[in-house]
Amino acid sequence: MRVRWPVLLFLATSSASGAMAQAGNRLGDFRGRLLDFLTSLPIAGATIEIDAGDLRQFTDSSGRFLFIGVPAGAHVVRARHLGYREATDTIQHTAGESAERGFVLRRVPQPLGEIVVSGRAVTFPRYFEPAYKRAAQGRGFFA
């Protein structure tokens, strides 16, 4: 017996949509915004993790993030960005609901290592001296 592939496609999509509808009853959305503590400006490119990295998103240019399909229950949410102290919070998420939470991160000074600048004296022939003087004054064209 030969089954046409449109029939198979219909059967596959109908069973997948039923599974998604059942999963949709147990999952919800979680959204929020990340701001700087001092300036109240959004922090772009920060990492938002739910349950130690099981789910991960990055904030957009307005500091917003969105998780779709978060399971119901209690979750630990972490917000991190270079130059800021990590913020952690616990959310209680109910099935089929949409939760929203705002985070504020405090700046932390970053210790920098020692910077060493070194150089050496360069000597050039005396006949180049007028050209180098003109270049230092911004006169002339030098490629």
The answer to the question of residue 1 being in a domain is no
The answer to the question of residue 11 being in a domain is no
The answer to the question of residue 74 being in a domain is yes
> How far is residue 6's CA from residue 35's CA, in Å, rounded to a whole number?
50
Give the residue numbers spanning the domain of 79. 26-105
CATH number at residue 70: 2.60.40.10
Mean pLDDT across 1-17: 46
Contact 75, 93 (CB under 8 A): yes
The answer to the question of residue 64 being in a domain is yes
- Global pTM reads 0.58
The answer to the question of residue 48 being in a domain is yes
The answer to the question of residue 134 being in a domain is no
The answer to the question of residue 87 being in a domain is yes
pLDDT in tens, 34-75: 999 999 999 999 999 998 567 899 999 999 999 998 888 889
For residue 94 the two structure tokens come to 């109910």
The answer to the question of residue 9 being in a domain is no
The pLDDT assigned to 14 comes to: 44
How many Cβ atoms from other residues are within 10 Å of residue 132's Cβ? 11
Domain tally for the chain? 1
